[in-house]
Chains A and B, each alone.
Chain A
Amino acid sequence: MTEQLDAGVVARQIKESDLLGGPGGGNEVGRARRRKEDARLVTGRTQWTDNIQLPGLLHVAFLRSPMAHARITRVDTSVARTQPGVVAVFSGADFAAEQGSLPCAWPVSEDIVIPDHPPMAVTEVRYAGEAVACVVATDRYKAADALDAIEIDYEPLDAVTDMTAALEDDSPKVHESGNKAFTWTFAQGDIDAAFRDAPVRVDRTYVQQRLIPSAMEPRAVVAQTDGDSFTLHSATQIPHILRVMLALTTGIPEHKLRVIAPDVGGGFGSKLQVTAEEVLCLLITRRLGKPVKWTESRSEGNLTVHHGRDQLQRISVAADADGRVRGVKVDLLADMGAYLMLVTPGVPLLGAFMYSGIYKMDAYDFTCTGVFTTKMPTDAYRGAGRPEATFAIERIMDELAAELGMDPIELRRRNWIGHTEFPYTTICGLTYDSGNYEAATDRALALFGYDKLRAEQADRRERDDPVQLGIGVSTYTEMCGLAPSRVLGSLSYGAGGWEHASVRVLPTGKVEVVTGTSPHGQGHETAWSQIVADALGVPFEDVAVIHGDTSSSHKGMDTYGSRSLVVGGVAVVQACEKVKEKAKQVAAHLMEASPDDVEFSRGEFRVRGTGTSRTIQEVALATFAAHDLPDGFEPRLDADATFDPDNFSFPHGTHLCAVEVDTETGATRIRSYVAVDDVGNVVNPLIVEGQVHGGIAQGIAQALFEEAVHDADGNLLTTTMADYLLPSAADLPAYTTDRTETPATTNPLGVKGVGEAGTIASTPAVVNAIVDALRPYGVRDVPMPCTPERVWRALGPARTTKSTDGGLS
């Protein structure tokens, strides 16, 4: 099958010279190394935040609002204070003077309204689950018990859970300023001309349901103080950002605050946050002078870990009769929930530039309105804005194909950017540096057996089989590797997008790498070791990676947005280059040669054309001894690098999904799933495959299973895993995955990032497949998640006319 790929830049073997631009490369990068992280994880010797035990540790439990919207009229903690084991009880009023407001770092527009967001509600609650009081007790059981003894009276206020209703004039107001948080627009090209007299036009509305990220490790916080400075352990993705933000919020000086992310059990964006509980635990420990721990329960987490998605997308596409896309218009409502948290308003912006997907077009018009509702705030969830955008464009491309009576692959071929056209600046203003949509698609079609499945589909349609076959296509790209600081600045984000690394060679030649990324499952300890092993020519085993503690890793921008390798990995490479340059000076001096005559390969400095050489380990020891170094040479083999990318990276790929839909029950079964992704060069194919698999699973879960459901009063109904359905192994298929490798041209590793690709790609592939199965019944959409009931309802009256004997409805 590989011969079909001639058009592509398919290079599965990474050339050393491609990676590091010189002869110094080894052969670690590209190897399927088993992970260093695993040893502690498979044996239970982990450091989850909840594992931490400290002398005199007290436990915090939060009382949470049972109502979505209410005024707090009375709080009485007197009885709770007398309960066994209770050390203190606090309500919002106790913190009012010092708790500040939880930060929003992304004021996206001039007109944005950023309401005060007290970590503990003082006068009014605006979503069910908002913290209203807390107990500090000697153990977690007693803390939980005393919550029952706190008395709070509420005066109920009207809830508003629906964005469209929230924008009505007579809607209950979440904040006094109203329910509109901001409007953000972007336009390029003449959209009116694109739509005027367009031979074909398709208009659709898609609902991105609200999701609960559901990292397996619930959040946990341990705060302590020695009377002078503070240490906060948190199950967070962002120890560095958290430290800055907590310093700004609590007034604890930054240099008196150490933040540690120990082992963290998954995040998917949900731990990219500055949470009320982190702030409050710090305040409690400051007040009591004692260490405190808080660990959330899953049902508490479903209520109060920020939610994801929740957008209403009105999208229109105009096309010529031959399928050429003329323009795309998007009118987006994005549910902020009750407050703006760390990057809440920025999430839809991360999608704003992706509605053109991989396609060329003449015009694009985008409007986004951020809307307040009385629900938990939304924020980043795997993909953050890009899955939503990709879903909309990939869904409507299938609709356009149906409208034109054209194969959806053919429609895409007519519109996508050809591999010879890179770098290509899209209608959204992004410059895609590289890509090869033809190669990935051809490979996917071959693996999938596209033509054969289409034939089976036709046969089942012909036979009126109650089980129909559908084929879904998703040819996605995404922008990741967040991000060029200048671009973030132009979008009003509060920080930059660089990443930092330090590399130090120890006296014995072992290497420590300090990274500003903060892994929580991604395998940075392994992948960074591979990069360093090649760069410095040391054994993989000789590299240790240090991360997640602001006292040892002083500088970083942490892990999210598929940025760690693309930005942080490159910083590691750059730091290694600096170390190597220093070592070369020492080596040359030791060999009494000019540095210009010294070459480096596989850990050895050699005087060109001679047999004289020194290993990097020998150089390290000599540098440590410092007896005989070049004049003026500072005796250290270490270096820092901070990398700020010029551009995003743009992974892409083609995902194909075949589903069997039982038209009698509405049940969907994924029959086969093929993913061919192009994430550029690959450091560790095992880790890449794992990221793709997990991403696909989460995207399928949005398509089929997951939805945070509120009642009209704003109460969350899916508070447990018995109601919020996460798929198990029994609910998901095996995936066929493969890669094409078109190196990124914007970084020296040629890498693009892989953390979010699978999730972005898979949701539209699955829903497109379901709709494709049901098209003969006149079905044009099934809202997500496509539950059996929703499929059945979408079939509507059609199921009586098409089902086997008409007796079923």
Chain B
Amino acid sequence: MIPASFDYVRVSSLDEALETLREQGEEAKVLAGGQSLLPLLRLRLAYPGTLVDLGRVEELRGVADRGDHVLIGAMTTHYDVVASPVVREHCPLVALATATVADPAVRHRGTFGGSLAHADPAGDLPAVALALDMEFVVRSAAGERVIPAADFFLDYLETALAPGEILTGVRVPKLGPGWGFHYEKFHRTAQAWAIVGVAAAVRRSGGVVEEARVALTNMGPTPVRATAVEQAVRGAEPGGNGGAAGGALRAAAERADEDTDPPADLHARPDYRRHLARVLTHRALLAAAG
């Protein structure tokens, strides 16, 4: 199918982008990698007046080690995120999950910031952002503000980004030593969206779980932080699978679907998603607790 007409402005700097957005007003939409937007345009599910193409804004691209956190530029492609030694070393969960996004050709064009700003709860990155307490750096003509992940995802495909604001980068806190990570994605075919996904980070000390971060993909209109699991798993001893210790992880995972509102769609009904959330959370915890 064929997109409806729109105007197009390619900007070469962030300032120019902000200025263009201000001029164009509500009709304007930011074009990042276009891997979510182009199919929507082709199916005529979106009719933007103007696309503001950030593709040549070099300042939004790249990964930087900022001491206590890693800054991933919004226009960094998934491919570059996965390939980044900094990401691999300091935010392996980001690398793991990003490697499961779509397919290689899409990962060459699709961007880290674009995926997050699209805020599809079935996407893999929003849950990871939530689990890791990422911070979203946002610019507008009025200046910069930082939005914690917990406040960023408001509803289905809806974020805290205000009109005229552009996501410039995402700060991923470094978690330090002792952490294990896993992203458990469950889908029907390699290309299909996750029916449910679980992003887990677990810190162990002396064989005991000291802290865990768990967030769920596609268990509601936004990614969901599984706080009940995080609390319940604290103090567990994941020494082996199936024994009393493994049982503690499983018991904690049983609470994965608390406070979720999973969707009903072609690929799964809510009760099955709840069940999967519990099973997959257990698996993610086991893997992350290594």
Contacts and interface: CB of A to CB of B under 8 A. Distances in A.
Interface of A: 140-141, 144-145, 148, 297, 299-300, 664-665, 667, 705, 709, 717-718, 720, 722-723, 725-728, 730-731, 787-789, 792-793, 804-805, 807-809
20 contacts: A144-B1, A145-B2, A145-B5, A297-B2, A664-B279, A665-B186, A665-B276, A665-B279, A705-B188, A705-B189, A718-B266, A725-B189, A725-B191, A728-B191, A731-B190, A787-B188, A792-B275, A804-B242, A805-B250, A807-B250
A145 B5 CA distance: 8
Given A140-B2, A664-B279, A720-B43, A728 B269 contact: no
A792 B254 contact: no
B275 A717 contact: no
A299 B275 contact: no
B214 to A, nearest CB: 18
A709 B266 CA distance: 8
B275 to A, nearest CB: 7
B279 A144 contact: no
B287 interface: no
B1 A788 contact: no
Given A792-B272, A804-B242, A808-B279, A731 B189 contact: yes
A726 B2 CA distance: 23
Interface of B: 1-2, 4-5, 39, 43, 186, 188-193, 195, 242, 247, 250-251, 254, 266-269, 272, 275-276, 278-280
A144 B190 CA distance: 32
A80 to B, nearest CB: 15
Contacts of B278: 808
B279 A728 contact: no
Given A792-B275, A805-B242, 18 more contacts: A140-B2, A145-B2, A145-B4, A148-B4, A665-B279, A722-B39, A722-B192, A723-B266, A725-B188, A725-B191, A726-B189, A731-B189, A787-B267, A788-B186, A789-B268, A789-B269, A804-B242, A805-B247
A717 B266 contact: yes
A665 B280 contact: yes
Nearest to A719: B43
Nearest to A721: B191
Given A720-B43, A728-B190, A809 B275 contact: yes
Given A665-B186, A725-B192, A728-B190, A141 B2 contact: yes
Nearest to A727: B189
The majority secondary structure among interface residues of chain A is loop
Given A144-B1, A789-B272, A728 B251 contact: no
A148 B272 CA distance: 39
A793 B5 CA distance: 46
Nearest to B2: A144
A720 B188 CA distance: 15
Contacts, number: 68
A127 B254 CA distance: 45
A728 B189 contact: yes
B196 to A, nearest CB: 9
A728 B102 CA distance: 12
A529 B166 CA distance: 62
A113 to B, nearest CB: 33
Contacts of A709: 266
A709 B269 CA distance: 14
A808 B278 CA distance: 8
Contacts of A792: 272, 275
Nearest to B269: A789
B186 A807 contact: no
A252 to B, nearest CB: 31
Contacts of B1: 144, 297, 299-300
A297 B64 CA distance: 42
Nearest to B247: A805
A777 to B, nearest CB: 16
Nearest to A666: B272
B261 to A, nearest CB: 18
Contacts of B190: 728, 730-731
A692 B79 CA distance: 36
A726 B192 CA distance: 10
A808 B275 contact: yes
Contact of B186 (A297, A667, A726): A667
Contacts of A808: 275, 278-279
Contacts of B247: 805, 807
Contacts of A723: 266
Nearest to A729: B190
B279 A807 contact: no
A805 B251 CA distance: 11
Contacts of A804: 242
A531 B191 CA distance: 42
A563 B77 CA distance: 49
Contacts of A809: 275
B191 A793 contact: no
Contacts of B39: 722
10 closest residue pairs by CB, A with B: A730-B190, A144-B2, A297-B1, A789-B272, A731-B189, A725-B189, A664-B279, A728-B190, A789-B268, A141-B2
A774 B268 CA distance: 21
Contacts of B193: 722
A788 B266 contact: no
B193 to A, nearest CB: 8
Contacts of B275: 792, 808-809
A148 B2 CA distance: 12
B98 to A, nearest CB: 17
A728 B242 CA distance: 34
A723 B192 CA distance: 8
Nearest to A61: B2
A169 to B, nearest CB: 32
Nearest to B276: A665
Contacts of A140: 2
Contacts of B4: 145, 148
A137 to B, nearest CB: 11
Contact of B188 (A141, A664, A788): A788
Given A141-B2, A805-B250, A807-B251, A793 B272 contact: yes
Nearest to B273: A789
B100 to A, nearest CB: 11
Nearest to B43: A299
A704 to B, nearest CB: 8
Contacts of A297: 1-2
A666 to B, nearest CB: 8
Nearest to B280: A665
A302 B111 CA distance: 30
Contacts of B280: 665
Contacts of A145: 2, 4-5
A709 to B, nearest CB: 6
A397 to B, nearest CB: 29
B284 to A, nearest CB: 13
Nearest to A793: B272
A299 B43 CA distance: 8
A724 B140 CA distance: 40
A346 B201 CA distance: 58
The listed residue with most B CB atoms (<10 A of its CB), out of A717, A725, A726, A793, is A725
Given A725-B188, A730-B190, A787-B188, A807 B266 contact: no
A705 B190 CA distance: 11
A786 to B, nearest CB: 11
B2 to A, nearest CB: 4
Contacts of B251: 807
A60 to B, nearest CB: 13
Contacts of B192: 722, 725
A212 to B, nearest CB: 13
A486 B240 CA distance: 70
B6 to A, nearest CB: 12
Nearest to B279: A664
B254 A807 contact: yes
A705 B43 CA distance: 23
Nearest to B250: A807
Contacts of A144: 1-2
